[in-house]
Amino acid sequence: MHAAGSARTADSETGTAAHSGPTTPATPSTTAPVRGSRSRAHTADFVRVVLFTFVVVAHSVNAINGGPDEIRGANLVGTLCHLTRYGFVAVTLYVLVLSMQGREMSPVQFWRRRFGLVIGPYLAWTVIYAITDHVIIRDNPFPPAGEWVSGLAHDLLVGEGKYQLYFLLISMQIYLFFPLITWIFERGRNRPWLLLSGGAVIQIMMFVVYQYLPRPSGAAWDLAYQHLWKTLPMYALFVAMGVLAAQHQQAVDKWLREHMATVVLVAAGCAAFTVAGYLLATSPGNVPWKANTAWNPVSLPWLVGGFALLWLIGLVWDDRRAAGRPAAAKFVSQATLRAFGVFAVHPLILDILGRVGFLGGLFEWFPHSAIMRSLILIAVVLVSSLLLVDILLRLPFSKWLTARPRLPLLPKRREKKQDRAAVAETPTVEASTADERG
């Protein structure tokens, strides 16, 4: 969500081309040392680009739904797109584990490197939205200065500057606990199913607490309940999936290649189960809010099966790319460079489109076609976000806005080639971690 590749060991079996990249010391307990050159995790690149696209899809569809029937359909799309938040957790852990292989770095060194990359964009966009929400959104004037500052402090603390920024808090937790996570998984490396089962139990418990149990009473408990879903236990299974997939990379990739038909069929069954559960819990004009929550246990099969299917598709794409066949490798490389920027700016684009009347215009132009409205809005938001990100990438403070180094304003042809080479060769851990979020 998040160029977005990582360093990983060269492996002819996984079908990735080796690229040398800078190395720095890393956490001793993260993974065992690995010999050989490093290469980008192109599969992770592909998956992240798709996940970021789904983030835009979900928010765009939600912004353009109309009557009760359309809300039912829009919420179904949102239910399936909840895959993004869980998928990003798995991909982030996968990239981190691979990028730290063979490196020696103390936890403090690790935190200084990683937090420096995420805190800047988090602060910048929280402040930006604290201003633009009152400038752009109608009937939302600035409150008194003291109230505005208090609200900003609250948003910074709990990740509510805008509806997508909470995930940067989850990213910070991943970085904070990464040394502990890798320490646990290194000691359980030979018991992957036990670790995976433990993650599943924790996550299911969190789902049950939020979906079925009554909300706790008391100010302190209520405050914790409001924000506990932004903590790692809500994503425990996908933390385990990401770490284990990296630790057992060759075995996992080989199994997926050899069981493609099984993965596709199981993923289709998982999708059917989740969709059926949603449709049975809703009806035209009656869409309970719990039917499409991000922690509905009925959605868990799709969250797991859908991510496995997406990873398989990325793996097949990576195999084609490595074999020299057309695979849109340049497009994915450029998309990963801009992925976090799109994640950060697309709500701003939606707010602007609402203010200028474009959203209302879609209802006038296509009053009876929610699908057409949604497709047009998705395309406009994606294109507009990419154009804005291209501008931001060329500003002196690009790192604070796009989590990427500044690009030349008017690069020469030779510099363009060098830029493309840098994007292709720079591991995610060196370039940015901000695009490891959704």
Q: What are the pLDDT digits (tens) for 368-386?
A: 888 999 999 999 999 999 9
First to last CA, the chain: 4
On whether residue 142 sits in a domain, the answer given is yes
On whether residue 358 sits in a domain, the answer given is yes
**Domain of 116, in residue numbers:** 7-431
Cα(243)–Cα(47) distance, integer angstroms: 16
Mean pLDDT of all residues in the chain? 85
On whether residue 437 sits in a domain, the answer given is no
- Confidence (pLDDT) at 21: 32
Query: Model confidence at 412, in pLDDT bands (50, 70, 90)?
Result: low
pLDDT at 293 over 60: yes
pLDDT at 355 over 50: yes
Amino acid identity at 356: V
On whether residue 1 sits in a domain, the answer given is no
Query: Model confidence at 285, in pLDDT bands (50, 70, 90)?
Result: confident
On whether residue 227 sits in a domain, the answer given is yes
On whether residue 2 sits in a domain, the answer given is no
On whether residue 116 sits in a domain, the answer given is yes
Q: How many domains, the chain? A: 1
Q: What would you report as the CA-atom Rg of the chain, rounded to the nearest whole angstrom? A: 22
Contact call for residues 104 and 92 (beta carbons, < 8 A): no
Cα(46)–Cα(6) distance, integer angstroms: 12
- Confidence (pLDDT) at 220: 81
On whether residue 170 sits in a domain, the answer given is yes
pTM: 0.84
Amino acid identity at 13: E
